Structure 1
């Protein structure tokens, strides 16, 4: 009997059903205290296949109904969808195509077209059969890896002209087990080479690799029915859109803790990404954000507590990684991550983060000023930074008249800046992932008279329009809004409204493109997070997928091919509905070309912009690398070139600030560790993107003065950006 036949023949003796799929988009917010620790479990000799339960079958039927009848996207469960679910499921279980062979895939040819009808009726067994076979293959591969290491890494040949693909997600499946053996020898050689080049001795390399593979092997043997069900359901729900996902009872518990804002930990949002746990975003004001080394799209390899050995978490369930990273305040957790810009998966860095409470005041809006000169006139530019759209709901419900919120705080900051005599205002929404929708609505209202701010369309094509009902205006002067790829959701609503009203200019890079609204619905077993509506700008265009395109673009280090709505599989498309009547305060078309010209002239001569472009070029080249050499000498030359470039860029930045250059990359890394250990250290200097926002504002004001000197007052008021928004 084959493994697949044995798996299919097995049934639970406790009433499990003979039933029969992602990317698991489940997100966890690492803030709360630990829910539990991991017990040391003996690794069994034989893998025990998992089987579906009656509760899971019932939940599957409920999920299928919700998706078909209440999701924003009208998508039926068809044979075509069945094949897509099959492919998505395999992508989740073996995304790098390192466990299954073509021979294995052939075993499931008939299942490929049957998953859809099975999922309608709660027949889960086909999905579990696939899961069990993959787990068996994972065990076989890891056992092979351990056997290869036991033979001695000194027997591996690093002189041949060999290479290995960095990303195998689009590669063909290897033909059979023998071809997979050859691939895994290359993977081991790649891992050994990377650690040797980082200065590790062979004995330490063997210990590290053995610990890694043994940890993954242990997790494979400990597979649970719920693991298979969650992966299967997320492959299924992910067909509708990437933000629709199934939460297991355990994941639901984590989600509910997140929503209650028990804010103690490192402050990071994570999700499953094939075998890895990937950083989605950092919580403003949280320890990880303040520490500064962890970045979106980094993938976590291992986790270490204080004075303990690292625990390899490749292949772990998301909720277990969350438990391991959580911990009490003032304790330190050390993460080994594959940086988002790494050329291959063997390049890692270690990041120590002191856990702490995320304080509301550290997410609050803050202000600063910039003084710039144009044409012999000095301008004072106000800057307001908004890390998130927040509101203290408990204080609000308790009737506290002084409760904190984004809009209240910004109104106060504007008043303080106007008292200082600012000539213009820059709103910094970079890295603002959104938050309370009503705060975005109210914030727009600080800059316009009464009017619509955003449209929301549901699956029935019913459109709700949110309005600013308050005719008062907190600020009527010229405005610039800074955005980047991590500006999402509520940030996009605000930036889009300011752009549509002609109330100000949007400067920076294209935003994330998260223009959908989700609701969490209870099931008999876990919860379903489902997309039920979309956001649309007052001009009619959706913020979904496309985001907000800036009027003046500033390049960013963030890789748009990896981060953003349009980088996600099955994301809902951009579309548009009818615009709603709204005021147009100013048409910038008459001055935008001159503003862009001045910006580009500064860009071409500003050493900070030049350095940014140099770093972007370096990162782009690294990301474009599709394979790495397994020849020791070639690899060493590549490694040394990368280290030289990193050090050159870091020292160039230090020289711009008048600081002493680092003598070596080790000095740079030691300095980064020291900075990370001090959560109270802050960079008081405004970064150059904010300063460029100030320069663009000064250009607007300068153009105002020039126009005022040659036009009569009435003609000037009709054409001037500053006068047009001044009531």
Structure 2
């Protein structure tokens, strides 16, 4: 089948006549030059790491700048890069002296190439797309490590493939030739318009992103405009759909979901999903591939109660043709939505029903306004968890599972005080600053609220304060940690004023009381669950230039127990249950399949039938796994793998009914995957409680 569309040149010519800012005007201001010097000084003397702005750093920052401008080697030529190779040894001098002329000149060269290429693409659309999609060509998906193109002809060949792939992707998605042309024209015209709106503040921000990002991923320059709205952004960060987004090449990727937010409640987004289109209620969806992240965020934001439509490619999809339109009602996330909530889970064992507690802790929060005002009954994580513990103890539970999955952290004071509910005073975390000074934080209140069996459930999105809590429980021997390796965010940032803007600077690092850092590696569970979240896509270790893992001296602390004595037995019992549980069996096989498909999916065919066969083969495997799981659970099979999220039983988004006790011994057919992890954590807790009590009785005797 041939895709051939011929339209007039009026639309493109009209666009090309739109006046944009002259490239010569994109030059640094005196204020930006001064700010560059201040940023350099902040990095040298304020950053946690030992930062030396020298020739070695210049090469790293130069490469980072090139990656920010043209990470896929699709605009600049080899001779362009070579013309600015002096920056590989002089960028340190540029920022230290505030001489930004060469970095700005490199941006202008990129700007010229990008504008010329977008104009070339629009001209190709005007001439008509004549792709037969019946050849044997393939297109490499990731060009980050490929050589720079040697000439214009090489770039033309590359972009011909990219245009063909874009047209094929849309065509396979059931768009007509006219719709394909309209979508691509909208995409490239939008990119060209945004490119021409670039100002000197944008260029300075890109260069500063290279400067700070070459040190670590959490240090960041904020422009005056960003600085002025920082407090407002913080207040509004929980409004909209409640999702943290980040750029991923030409796409916008979901980094995490706000606990209790609209997206999490709707259950239609997951981390690592890619958003390829955004539309308002009752309006057409606008393709956002290649659009700037902040522009996409602006499109997704909106008034409370309104509906946004997102065209989403699931994280597990290996081809961008498999997208699905979802709707989310915008809302504000209130403290109540993030409050800790408990329930009783019943587990049948040897004909006897056992009652276990589960407390979901979405974030570490505190009502700062009420606290600072001196109100006695202010809300906080620790206070809410304490109430749930008291209630669960009154219910006669044999142990408690604390669910910290997807908990991205929050108030450090709450992590400390929450640990205090389970230990009788003691250190909780060490914080080391740039000078090597270590501050010790801990629980100073005597007594414990709960000293019974405890399991902490974590996943890859458990970060920062969650990792401090889980690490302390593990170090004290106070309980077991189960789930997945955590995020690995073990650094502390502060926001400092500059003469022009602000800088968010990494100034300290967290360490467990055992002396191990939580940075980069996170917390490793005692018992591992399979996960569909790829650690190469989500987590501190997936971020460029993340600070490494290390250790400091261990502090003195008492041991409350020795859970490791039972680990071999607990792991074996978990393994046997997981082998027989459809959801765990599915998770393990799906994780292995996803990893294999990602390794294989380094290029795509530009042949329609071959592309369709490859996609169908991959989805056939994914669908077979899903339907095996559903058959084992007594559920109706699906005809399309992409429909798996439409049913709560198949997703990780369904919420348990906490209004009544949940019997789980024989009712596995009603469990979503997410719920199955909670129930298995309860099973492990019961094993742990019985083993520990048996040992205590033996020792007592």
TM-score, normalized by length of structure 2? 0.91
1:148, 1:185 within 8 Å by CA — same for their partners in 2?
A: no
1:510, 1:549 within 8 Å by CA — same for their partners in 2?
A: yes
2:663 matched to 1:687?
no
Task: Return the match for 1:129 from 78, 84, 105.
Answer: 105
TM-score, normalized by length of structure 1? 0.87
Q: CA deviation at 1:254?
A: 4.2
Structure 1 residues 46, 444: CA separation in 2 closer, same or farther (over 3 Å shift)? closer
Structure 1 residues 562, 234: CA separation in 2 closer, same or farther (over 3 Å shift)? same
CA offsets 1:355-409 (integer angstroms, 9 cap, x no match): 0111211111111222223345432111011010011111212222221100000
Which residue is 1:594 aligned to? Answer: 569
Task: Return the match for 1:499 from 474, 478, 502.
Answer: 474
Structure 1: how far apart are the matches of 2:696 and 2:512?
33
Secondary structure of the corresponding residue to residue 23 of structure 2:
coil
Secondary structure of the corresponding residue to residue 235 of structure 1:
helix
2:612 matched to 1:636?
yes
Which residue is 2:6 aligned to? Answer: none
2:678 matched to 1:702?
no
Task: Return the match for 2:78 from 79, 102, 106.
Answer: 102
Q: CA deviation at 1:197?
A: 2.0
Matches within 5 A, 1:187-586: 187-260=162-235, 263-344=238-319, 347-586=322-561
Q: CA deviation at 1:191?
A: 1.6
Structure 2: how far apart are the matches of 1:669 and 1:384?
25
Matches within 5 A, 1:70-89: 70-89=46-65
Structure 1 residues 364, 657: CA separation in 2 closer, same or farther (over 3 Å shift)? farther
Q: CA deviation at 1:62?
A: 0.8
Structure 1 residues 106, 222: CA separation in 2 closer, same or farther (over 3 Å shift)? same
Secondary structure of the corresponding residue to residue 72 of structure 1:
coil
Q: CA deviation at 1:320?
A: 3.1
Structure 1: how far apart are the matches of 2:254 and 2:563?
38
Q: CA deviation at 1:594?
A: 0.6
Q: CA deviation at 1:556?
A: 0.6
Q: CA deviation at 1:354?
A: 1.1
Q: CA deviation at 1:291?
A: 1.7
Structure 1: how far apart are the matches of 2:483 and 2:346?
20
State how many pairs are aligned: 669
Structure 1 residues 708, 69: CA separation in 2 closer, same or farther (over 3 Å shift)? closer
2:227, 2:501 within 8 Å by CA — same for their partners in 1?
A: yes
Which residue is 2:662 aligned to? Answer: none
Secondary structure of the corresponding residue to residue 259 of structure 2:
coil
Secondary structure of the corresponding residue to residue 109 of structure 1:
coil
Structure 1 residues 462, 665: CA separation in 2 closer, same or farther (over 3 Å shift)? closer
Gaps of at least 5 residues in structure 1 are 1-39, 715-727
Structure 2: how far apart are the matches of 1:375 and 1:467?
41
Secondary structure of the corresponding residue to residue 482 of structure 2:
strand
Which residue is 1:29 aligned to? Answer: none
CA offsets 1:577-606 (integer angstroms, 9 cap, x no match): 111111111122321101111111112221
Q: CA deviation at 1:657?
A: 5.0
Matches within 5 A, 1:147-166: 147-153=123-129, 155-166=130-141
Structure 1: how far apart are the matches of 2:167 and 2:286?
19
Q: CA deviation at 1:131?
A: 1.2
1:332, 1:352 within 8 Å by CA — same for their partners in 2?
A: yes
CA offsets 1:656-706 (integer angstroms, 9 cap, x no match): 55443334457667769xx99xx9x85535711111101111111332455
1:391, 1:406 within 8 Å by CA — same for their partners in 2?
A: yes
Secondary structure of the corresponding residue to residue 113 of structure 1:
helix
Q: CA deviation at 1:504?
A: 0.3
Secondary structure of the corresponding residue to residue 340 of structure 1:
coil
Task: Return the match for 1:112 from 58, 82, 88.
Answer: 88
Which residue is 2:5 aligned to? Answer: none
Structure 1 residues 668, 233: CA separation in 2 closer, same or farther (over 3 Å shift)? same
CA offsets 1:483-531 (integer angstroms, 9 cap, x no match): 1110000000000000000000110111111000000111122110000
Q: CA deviation at 1:469?
A: 0.6
1:194, 1:347 within 8 Å by CA — same for their partners in 2?
A: no
Structure 1 residues 371, 669: CA separation in 2 closer, same or farther (over 3 Å shift)? closer
Structure 2: how far apart are the matches of 1:274 and 1:666?
23
Q: CA deviation at 1:351?
A: 3.0
Structure 2: how far apart are the matches of 1:351 and 1:499?
40
Which residue is 2:122 aligned to? Answer: 146
Which is worse superposed, 129-138 or 193-202? Answer: 193-202
CA offsets 1:134-164 (integer angstroms, 9 cap, x no match): 12111122222222233333x2132211111
CA offsets 1:431-488 (integer angstroms, 9 cap, x no match): 1000000000000000000100001110111111012011121110011101111000
Structure 2: how far apart are the matches of 1:346 and 1:183?
20
Structure 1: how far apart are the matches of 2:116 and 2:470?
52
Structure 1: how far apart are the matches of 2:537 and 2:646?
29
2:34, 2:499 within 8 Å by CA — same for their partners in 1?
A: yes
Structure 1 residues 93, 301: CA separation in 2 closer, same or farther (over 3 Å shift)? farther
Secondary structure of the corresponding residue to residue 256 of structure 2:
strand
Secondary structure of the corresponding residue to residue 86 of structure 2:
helix
CA offsets 1:620-645 (integer angstroms, 9 cap, x no match): 13322111111122111112223434
Structure 1 residues 140, 342: CA separation in 2 closer, same or farther (over 3 Å shift)? farther
Secondary structure of the corresponding residue to residue 75 of structure 1:
coil
Structure 1: how far apart are the matches of 2:593 and 2:627?
15
Which is worse superposed, 685-694 or 575-584? Answer: 685-694
Structure 1: how far apart are the matches of 2:457 and 2:655?
21
Secondary structure of the corresponding residue to residue 687 of structure 1:
helix
Which residue is 1:25 aligned to? Answer: none
Secondary structure of the corresponding residue to residue 352 of structure 1:
strand
Q: CA deviation at 1:206?
A: 1.2
Structure 1 residues 666, 247: CA separation in 2 closer, same or farther (over 3 Å shift)? closer
Q: CA deviation at 1:100?
A: 1.4
User: What root-mean-square deviation, in Å, do the aligned CA atoms of Structure 1 and Structure 2 show?
Assistant: 2.4
